[in-house]
Amino acid sequence: MKQETFINENRPHESAIKHVTGKAYYTDDIPEPPGTLYGAIGWSKKAHAIIKKINLDKVFKSEGVVAVVTSDDIPGRNDVGPVYDGDPIFPKKAEYYGQPLFAVAATTTELARKAVLAAKISYKTLKPITTIKEALKKKSFVLKERVIKKGEALKAIESSVHRLKGNFTTGSQEHFALEGQSAFVIPQEDNDFKVFSKTQHPSETQQIIAKMLNQKSNSITVETRRLGGSFGSTETQSFIFAAICTLLAKKTKRAIKLRVDRDDDIIITGKRHDFYSEYSVGFDELGVITGLKLKLASRCGISPDLSGAINERALLHVDNAYYLENVLVENYLCKTNTASNTAFRGFGANQAMMVIENIIDHIATTLNKDSAEIRRRNFYQKKKKNITHYNMKIEDNVIQEIYDQLIKSSNYKSRQLSIKKFNSENKYIKKGICFTPVKFGISFTTWHLNQAGSLVHIYYNDGSVHVNHGGVEMGNGVHTKIAQLTAHALGINFSKIKVSATTTDKVPNTSASAASSTTDLNGAATLNAISKIKMNLAAYVKRKYKIKNSEGIYENGMVKFKGKTFKFNKLIKEAYLNRVSLSSTGFYTTPKIHFDKKTFKGRPFLYFCYSAAVSEVMIDTLTGENKILRADILHDAGRAINPAIETGQIEGGFVQGAGWLGCEEVVWKTNGQITTHSPSTYKIPAVSDMPEKFNAEIFKKGINIENVINKSKTTGEPPLMNAMSVFFAIKNAIASIGNYTANPKLDAPATPEKILMSIKNLKRKI
Ligand code: LUZ
Ligand code: MOS
């Protein structure tokens, strides 16, 4: 009989059928108790202003309105900042266009949204700071600047054979998750609140609401069944919606649903940090970097939010896959009068990786060499050149193997030749190709967040299993993968496992589902809980049947001890009748990691994910339009628990990254008003923007050398960065116009306008 293992196999997402039939409950789908009211938020029309008066008379009188809340209704902390203050729920002074000022509850969502428009707010307008450059000039920062250093960068650059200088910008990005921000709150007895929230972070939602209400944490329960995508949009920025919704529920003593309109969602919440960099690099004849000096400045918006951690992850990824001997980086966290920028898949790492990739590209065009070859020459190596700029020894490096395999499987070299030929024969349409690597560090860089809990029950009646863990299902497949791990560990069918909604009263003090770590951490905690139940069962078997030192082998619905075999269900029922506990909590902490934030040295990551892509694009030099013709990706997912789900992440991440670097452009007017607040003005990739040929493959030899569940590696964030190859393929296509002799200046995103400007600029140089 073929043994069913339920791991290392393609299985559909546990909710796949519910997703496509519309039967899956998202926060907004939860059935409402009678008397439920609906919320809407009134927000600032000024980016920087003293609020002289908020006159809500007409709002109160508006049809269907039951209650209005302002800062006067907040008994406790008027702030939802996760690490630092700076994100008031309702501020005294408006600091960005779109900042919430008050909220209403009405009998329908439409009436609530209509009512907020009746507010009369008088402002004394102040001058806003809206750009990174302005903030740098005025020294407007959310946190202190930071300098990190390894070796002697300035000296090394000075004495290099070649030197280059330049600047580079990557743009912001709206998360645009299918499901927007939403919350649903039901008041309970004793002033307790049951909060359903679209969030990656139920535990912090609970803390934030408790502090706002001046109530104990045990009076607030937050539950999250699933998210329709999130990508960092609700690591912290869901808090204000859950908080406002709870405030309305407290005031009205009725259930409140707050589902934010797409435009309001985009206007109120922060996005990816755009980064501006200046670089000065020294390199040798081979293109190997000898010294690097960087200035990295990010647009943080009005508050710190997670910007400290995001900029830190940027500093930890200025190397990408390259060995840097001498590095000096200055990092500035710019405060601007725009919504507070926040976590977004990649969390600052990809912005920094783009900086070094742009530098390598600049080196390659300067030396007139193949950029893939220059990249390869700078790779970290195995026995030497394997210490990062933060002093961590890299022990799991497979980038050379990935390079070799992908360059071959993608026919990079021959395609490069035919592209050059195509370009010499075509005047207006140009093609480009590029290889880029990815190395991404896995673990929260904030040490204490690397912990997780789980709760596992086995029911005696039928041996079915209920798992609850601290991770949030957001399309990442965490529940599917943990159910697979559970089925495997207990040797029973996948259909007997139920993973239920994440909730703060089952597993407490959880970390955000973030940092690509959700399955690693919560999967390990679940296996820990299962091993404790197995110990209970082994102790019982030892006691009853005098079988010694046997842990039991769980396979195919059977449990084998030395000399005795049980059907799983029978053992469970028997254990129950003999008063054995069939339930346990589990806990996990990531081993080996430590990091000194002051000296910027240590081992912040348990392991690295490696990946690479080769992309081929076509541009129209008359219109600036571009198209991805082909993308080949080779991604190290270790020993993947569910290759189908990982492949979905690898493909989806790439397309999302291509959006960030290609068509998606967030635009603010000089007065701080965001103009790209709906799909009419903000272009995300569509089905037609998928690569025409798309080969996303998992690296077959991949294995996690660390003790991670199933020796797997996560696929959460790293695949996004494979899209760097698209951007530099576009740059390569532009460079063909100057016969590859000059370096085109191109900032991200490479929109048609930017491509046309780059071409114009290049033609002036040649
Ligand atoms: N969130 C966080 C993250 O709090 N710390 C991190 O290191 C991180 N990394 C990636 C994504 N989210
Ligand atoms: Mo994230 S960027 O919420 O892991």
Q: Taking the CB of residue 678, how many other CB atoms lie within 10 A of it?
A: 13
* Rounded-to-integer distance, Cα 153 and Cα 289, Å: 11
Ligand 1 center from residue 313 Cα (angstroms): 8
* Rounded-to-integer distance, Cα 16 and Cα 151, Å: 51
Ligand 2 center from residue 348 Cα (angstroms): 10
Average pLDDT over residues 248-270: 98
Question: For ligand 2, atom 3, which residue shows the shortest CA distance?
Answer: 232
Residue ranges of E strands in 524-663: 553-555, 558-561, 564-567, 583-589, 594-596, 601-603, 607-620, 626-635
> What digits encode the pLDDT tens for the residues 452-508?
999 999 999 999 999 999 999 999 999 999 999 999 999 999 999 999 999 999 999
Instruction: HSE, CB side, 13 Å, CA atoms: give it for residue 451.
Output: 11
Cα dihedral value 260, 262, 266, 269, nearest 10:
20
**Predicted pLDDT of residue 578:** 98
- Domains defined for the chain, CATH in brackets: 32-127+181-227+234-268 (3.90.1170.50), 275-445+596-765 (3.30.365.10), 451-589 (3.30.365.10)
In which residue are the tokens 């204490």 written?
Answer: 448
Average pLDDT over residues 407-411: 98
Catalytic residue among 235, 651, 706, 717: 717
Ligand 1 center from residue 396 Cα (angstroms): 21
Question: From the CB of 309, is ligand 1 less than 6 Å away?
Answer: yes
Which atom of ligand 2 has the smallest separation from the CA of 516? 4
Question: From the CB of 609, is ligand 1 less than 6 Å away?
Answer: no
> What digits encode the pLDDT tens for the residues 551-605?
999 999 999 999 999 999 999 999 999 999 999 999 999 999 999 999 999 999 9
Average pLDDT over residues 715-729: 98
Question: For ligand 1, atom 10, which residue shows the shortest CA distance?
Answer: 515
* Rounded-to-integer distance, Cα 81 and Cα 88, Å: 8
- Give one word for 710, left, alpha or beta, with left for phi > 0 and alpha for psi -120 to 50: left
Ligand 1 binding pocket mutation candidate from 203, 306, 347, 447 (most atoms within 8 A of CB):
347
> What digits encode the pLDDT tens for the residues 60-111?
999 999 999 999 999 999 999 999 999 999 999 999 999 999 999 999 999 9
* Two tokens, residue 456: 């596992």
As for ligand 2, residues whose beta carbon falls within 6 Å of it are 200, 232, 235, 343-345, 347, 514-515, 717
Average pLDDT over residues 123-130: 98
Give the CA radius of gyration of the chain.
27
Question: From the CB of 442, is ligand 1 less than 6 Å away?
Answer: no
Where residue 267 falls among pLDDT bands split at 50, 70, 90?
A: very high
Question: From the CB of 96, is ligand 1 less than 6 Å away?
Answer: no
Residue ranges of E strands in 691-738: 693-698
Question: From the CB of 272, is ligand 1 less than 6 Å away?
Answer: no
- Percentage of the chain modeled with pLDDT above 90: 98
Which candidate, 339, 360, 43, 361, places its Cα nearest to that of 172?
A: 339
Ligand 1 center from residue 449 Cα (angstroms): 9
> What digits encode the pLDDT tens for the residues 317-375?
999 999 999 999 999 999 999 999 999 999 999 999 999 999 999 999 999 999 999 99
* Helices (H), ranges, 590-722: 643-661
> What rounded mean pLDDT belongs to the chain?
97
The yes-or-no verdict on residue 382 having pLDDT over 80 is: yes
The yes-or-no verdict on residue 3 having pLDDT over 70 is: no
CA–CA distances in Å: residue 45 to residues 13, 258, 508, 668, 682: 42, 21, 39, 13, 20
Where residue 56 falls among pLDDT bands split at 50, 70, 90?
A: very high
Which candidate, 272, 233, 445, 406, places its Cα nearest to that of 350?
A: 272
Q: What is the Cα 14 distance to its own chain's centre?
A: 22
The yes-or-no verdict on residue 408 having pLDDT over 70 is: yes
**Predicted pLDDT of residue 676:** 98
CA–CA distances in Å: residue 536 to residues 491, 507, 561, 576: 17, 21, 14, 11
717 is catalytic: yes
In which residue are the tokens 């309109």 written?
Answer: 261
* Rounded-to-integer distance, Cα 49 and Cα 97, Å: 10
Residue type, 303: S
In degrees and rounded to multiples of 5, residue 207 shows phi and psi of: -65, -45
Ligand 2 binding pocket mutation candidate from 198, 235, 474 (most atoms within 8 A of CB):
235
Which atom of ligand 2 has the smallest separation from the CA of 232? 3
> What digits encode the pLDDT tens for the residues 683-720?
999 999 999 999 999 999 999 999 999 999 999 999 99
Question: From the CB of 446, is ligand 1 less than 6 Å away?
Answer: yes
191, 214 in Cβ contact below 8 A?
Answer: no
- Percentage of the chain modeled with pLDDT above 70: 100
Instruction: HSE, CB side, 13 Å, CA atoms: give it for residue 757.
Output: 10
The ligand with the least distance to the CA atom of 177 is: 2
* Rounded-to-integer distance, Cα 750 and Cα 730, Å: 8
**Predicted pLDDT of residue 133:** 98
Which atom of ligand 2 has the smallest separation from the CA of 234? 3
Which atom of ligand 1 has the smallest separation from the CA of 445? 7
Q: What is the Cα 228 distance to its own chain's centre?
A: 14
**Predicted pLDDT of residue 2:** 60
Residue type, 631: A
Where residue 618 falls among pLDDT bands split at 50, 70, 90?
A: very high
Question: For ligand 1, atom 7, which residue shows the shortest CA distance?
Answer: 444
Question: Whats the size of the chain, residue-wise?
Answer: 766
* Rounded-to-integer distance, Cα 213 and Cα 244, Å: 11
Q: What is the Cα 634 distance to its own chain's centre?
A: 20
Ligand 2 center from residue 70 Cα (angstroms): 31
Those residues whose C-beta lies under 8 Å from the C-beta of residue 466, and which sit 6 or more positions away, are 456, 457, 458, 459, 498, 500
Which candidate, 749, 753, 754, places its Cα nearest to that of 174?
A: 749
Which candidate, 753, 750, 755, places its Cα nearest to that of 170?
A: 750
> What digits encode the pLDDT tens for the residues 607-617?
999 999 999 99
Q: Are strands 65-69 and 502-503 parallel, antiparallel or unpaired?
A: unpaired
Ligand 1 center from residue 307 Cα (angstroms): 10
Burial (CB < 10 A; 0-12, 13-18, 19+), residue 163, is middle
The yes-or-no verdict on residue 1 having pLDDT over 60 is: no
Beta bridge partners of 607: 442
Which candidate, 269, 276, 272, 318, places its Cα nearest to that of 293?
A: 318
Q: What is the Cα 416 distance to its own chain's centre?
A: 33
Q: Are strands 220-224 and 193-197 parallel, antiparallel or unpaired?
A: parallel
The ligand with the least distance to the CA atom of 474 is: 2
Ligand 1 center from residue 596 Cα (angstroms): 17
Question: From the CB of 347, is ligand 1 less than 6 Å away?
Answer: yes
Ligand 2 center from residue 176 Cα (angstroms): 14
Question: From the CB of 243, is ligand 1 less than 6 Å away?
Answer: no
Ligand 1 binding pocket mutation candidate from 239, 315, 445 (most atoms within 8 A of CB):
445
Reduced to 3 states (helix: H, G, I; strand: E, B; else coil), residue 447 is helix
> What digits encode the pLDDT tens for the residues 199-241?
999 999 999 999 999 999 999 999 999 999 999 999 999 999 9
Beta bridge partners of 322: 379
* Rounded-to-integer distance, Cα 370 and Cα 626, Å: 22
522, 482 in Cβ contact below 8 A?
Answer: yes
Q: What is the Cα 592 distance to its own chain's centre?
A: 23
Ligand 2 center from residue 478 Cα (angstroms): 14
Which candidate, 612, 608, 592, places its Cα nearest to that of 397?
A: 608
> What digits encode the pLDDT tens for the residues 170-202?
999 999 999 999 999 999 999 999 999 999 999
